[in-house]
C-alpha cells in the first residue's frame, strides 16, 4: 500500500482518500456497518473526520467548553456557519443548565456567550423567552435518556450544517451517481422512455425512441364518419377536445362558440350571441369550465361553466383583441396572445400577471403537459420556448421549419415534454429536442403545407400531423427492420 496512487481514474481527477470516504459513507447509509468498518480498518480511511469525531465525543459527554473550543478552532468555516452551529450548542447548554437548576450558568451563557455570535436581537429574545417559559412551566428534570437523545440530535444537526471535508453531505455517492445518470439522459437527444437507466453502461438512445416513420395515413376515404355536427353558419376555425374526451368545443369563423356531446353528436350549448366573435377557446383540466377569447376588444375573455353560466370575464375598452389562449394543465395560469406580439400570463389564483413582448407576430400557442413551459410560433420562422414562471430572461429559440403565410401549430411531446414538434409550409414535420435549437428529425410524407401536429400525451412514441393535402398522418418509431404496414383506416 506504500506505493498506492493518491488519485484514481484515467484522467487522475478522483482523489483516492475522498473516494474511499464516500464509499464508506454509502455502506453505512445502506446498513452495511460491518463492511464499512472493515473497509475503514483495511484502508486506514475514516468516514468521519478527526474534527467531527472529536466534536461528537465532546457533545455526547456534555463537555461543552471543549466542544465550543473545538468549533472555534476548525478552519475554513464561514463566520455565519460557525455562529449558527455555536448557537445550536449554546441552546443545548441552556437546556441542560436549567435542567439541573443552574440558572446562573444559563444566564451567563445568554449574556456573555451569545452576544459574541452577533445574532439578531429577535433571536436572542426568543431564546430568553423559551428559558423563562421553561421555568414557569416547571418542566421538571429530564432523565438521562432524554438528555442523551437531545445530544444525538445536536450531533446530527451539526453534521448537516458543517461543510465538507469536515462532514460529508448526506448520501454523497448516490448524489454523484444520480448526477452522472441525469447528465447522460440530458445529453441523449432521443431519450423518450421512463425505463430505468442501467448503471452498467453509458446511456444512449437511438432514433427508435421517437416517432420518425408514417405508420398510418388517414384521409376522407378511409375514415368512418361518426357524427356530422351542423349548427355553425360560417366555416369552423378552431376546435378543442375536453380533457376527459367527452365534449368538443367549436369556434365558427367570426361566429359563436358551441359545445358538443361527443357520444351523441348533439349541441349542448351555444355561448354568447351572434355578436360575440370567438377567436380561440380552451378547457380547464376538470372538463367543467371553459375560457374563450374574442377578436372584438369589447368582448375580451370569458370563463363559463358547461351550462353557459359566466363565471368570470376580462373585458374593457383597453383590452386588445385576443388571438389565441391556453390554460395550463394544472389550472393555475391563463396564457393569452394579444394583438399579434403580446403575451400575457395571468395566475388565476393570485391575479398576478406577466406581460411579454415579441418582436414578430405570433401565430399560435402551446403549453407543455407539466404546465412549466409554453411555445409560440412566430412568422419570422422561429419557435420560442419560455417558462411559465417567468424566471428566464430570454427564450430558447428553434429554427429550421418554414412559416411565412399560414398559421402553423406546434406542440410539446414525449416524456417530460422534452420534444417540440411543428408543421411547416414545405410539407414536412420537424422535431427538436428542447436542448437543441436545430431539428433532430425532419419527417417527409405530406404533399402540402402541414398546418398542425399533436403528440399523444399517453403514448410518447405516437405523433399525428394534419395537412392541406387532406390527410392525417400517424407517425411511430422506425420500423426499418420490419415489414411496413399498409395504409389502413381506423
Question: What pLDDT is attached to residue 489?
Answer: 37
Q: Can you tell me the distance from the alpha carbon of 360 to that of 324, in angstroms, rounded to the nearest whole number?
A: 15
Question: What pLDDT is attached to residue 271?
Answer: 84
| pTM of the predicted model as reported, rounded to 2 decimal places | 0.79
Q: Can you tell me the distance from the alpha carbon of 393 to that of 32, in angstroms, rounded to the nearest whole number?
A: 48
Burial 213-245 (b: 16+ CB within 10 A, else e): bbbbbbeeeeeeeeeebeebeeeebbebebeee
Tell me which residue has cell 399560435.
364
> Are 419 and 210 a contacting pair, CB within 8 Å?
yes
Backbone dihedral region for residue 417 (phi beyond 0: left; psi -120 to 50: alpha; all else: beta): left
Q: Can you tell me the distance from the alpha carbon of 447 to that of 427, in angstroms, rounded to the nearest whole number?
A: 6
Domains of the chain, first to last: 48-167 (no CATH), 173-205 (no CATH), 210-291+358-476 (2.130.10.10)
Nearest to 326 by CA among 291, 372, 377: 291
Nearest to 382 by CA among 368, 361, 367, 351: 361
Q: Can you tell me the distance from the alpha carbon of 406 to that of 379, in angstroms, rounded to the nearest whole number?
A: 8
And the C-alpha cell for 46? 475514516
Q: What is the mean pLDDT of each run of 10 residues along the chain (490 residues)?
A: 75 94 96 96 94 94 91 89 88 81 75 68 67 57 84 93 93 96 93 91 92 88 76 81 91 82 90 75 94 81 90 79 92 92 94 94 94 95 96 95 91 95 96 96 96 92 94 87 40
Q: Can you tell me the distance from the alpha carbon of 8 to that of 147, in angstroms, rounded to the nearest whole number?
A: 44
Q: Where are the alpha helices (DSSP H) in 138-238?
A: 144-161, 172-187
Alpha-carbon distances, residue 436 vs 76, 216, 375 (angstroms) = 41, 28, 14
Question: What pLDDT is attached to residue 485?
Answer: 39
Alpha-carbon distances, residue 414 vs 17, 40, 166, 369, 418 (angstroms) = 42, 46, 43, 10, 6
Q: Can you tell me the distance from the alpha carbon of 386 to that of 42, in angstroms, rounded to the nearest whole number?
A: 54
Question: What pLDDT is attached to residue 161?
Answer: 93
Amino acid at each position: 500500500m506504500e506505493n498506492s496512487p493518491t488519485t484514481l481514474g484515467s484522467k487522475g481527477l478522483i482523489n483516492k482518500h475522498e473516494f474511499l470516504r464516500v464509499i464508506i459513507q454509502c455502506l453505512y447509509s445502506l446498513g452495511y456497518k460491518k463492511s464499512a468498518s472493515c473497509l475503514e480498518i483495511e484502508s486506514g480511511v475514516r468516514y468521519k473526520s478527526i474534527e467531527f469525531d472529536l466534536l461528537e465525543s465532546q457533545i455526547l459527554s456534555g463537555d461543552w467548553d471543549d466542544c465550543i473550543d473545538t468549533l472555534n478552532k476548525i478552519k475554513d468555516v464561514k463566520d455565519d456557519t460557525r455562529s449558527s452551529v455555536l448557537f445550536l450548542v449554546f441552546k443545548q447548554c441552556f437546556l441542560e443548565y436549567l435542567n439541573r437548576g443552574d440558572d446562573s450558568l444559563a444566564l451567563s451563557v445568554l449574556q456573555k456567550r451569545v452576544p459574541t455570535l452577533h445574532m439578531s436581537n429577535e433571536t436572542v429574545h426568543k431564546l430568553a423567552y423559551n428559558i423563562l417559559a421553561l421555568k414557569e412551566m416547571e418542566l421538571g428534570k429530564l432523565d438521562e435518556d432524554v438528555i442523551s437523545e437531545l445530544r444525538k440530535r445536536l450531533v446530527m444537526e451539526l453534521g448537516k450544517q458543517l461543510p465538507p471535508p469536515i462532514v460529508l453531505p448526506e448520501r454523497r455517492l448516490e448524489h454523484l451517481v444520480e448526477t452522472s445518470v441525469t447528465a447522460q439522459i440530458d445529453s441523449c437527444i432521443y431519450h423518450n422512455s421512463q425505463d430505468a437507466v442501467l448503471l452498467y453502461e453509458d446511456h444512449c438512445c437511438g432514433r427508435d425512441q421517437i416517432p420518425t416513420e408514417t405508420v398510418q395515413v388517414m384521409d376522407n376515404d378511409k375514415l368512418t364518419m361518426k357524427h356530422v355536427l351542423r349548427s355553425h353558419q360560417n366555416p369552423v376555425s378552431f376546435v378543442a377536445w375536453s380533457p376527459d374526451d367527452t365534449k368538443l368545443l367549436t369556434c365558427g369563423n367570426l361566429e359563436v362558440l358551441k359545445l358538443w356531446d361527443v357520444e351523441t353528436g348533439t349541441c349542448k350549448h351555444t355561448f354568447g350571441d351572434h355578436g360575440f366573435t370567438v377567436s380561440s377557446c380552451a378547457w380547464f383540466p376538470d372538463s367543467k369550465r371553459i375560457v374563450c377569447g374574442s377578436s372584438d376588444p369589447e368582448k375580451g375573455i370569458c370563463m363559463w361553466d358547461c351550462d353557459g353560466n359566466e363565471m368570470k370575464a376580462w373585458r374593457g375598452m383597453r383590452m386588445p383583441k385576443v388571438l389565441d389562449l391556453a390554460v395550463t394543465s394544472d389550472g393555475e395560469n391563463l396564457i393569452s396572445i394579444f394583438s399579434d406580439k403580446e403575451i400575457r400570463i395571468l395566475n388565476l389564483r393570485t391575479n398576478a400577471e406577466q406581460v411579454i413582448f415579441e418582436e414578430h407576430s405570433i401565430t399560435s400557442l402551446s403549453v407543455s403537459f407539466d404546465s412549466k413551459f409554453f411555445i409560440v410560433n412566430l412568422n419570422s420562422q422561429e419557435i420560442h420556448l419560455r417558462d411559465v414562471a417567468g424566471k428566464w430572461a430570454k427564450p430558447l429559440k428553434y429554427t429550421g421549419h418554414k412559416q411565412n403565410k399560414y398559421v402553423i401549430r406546434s406542440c410539446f411531446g414525449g416524456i417530460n415534454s422534452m420534444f417540440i414538434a411543428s408543421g411547416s409550409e414545405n410539407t414536412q414535420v420537424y422535431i427538436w429536442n428542447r436542448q437543441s435549437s436545430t431539428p433532430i428529425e425532419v419527417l417527409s410524407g405530406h404533399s402540402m403545407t402541414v398546418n398542425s401536429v399533436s403528440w399523444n400525451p399517453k403514448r410518447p412514441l405516437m405523433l399525428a400531423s394534419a395537412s392541406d393535402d387532406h390527410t392525417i398522418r400517424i407517425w411511430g418509431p422506425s420500423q426499418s427492420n420490419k415489414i411496413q404496414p399498409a395504409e389502413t383506416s381506423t
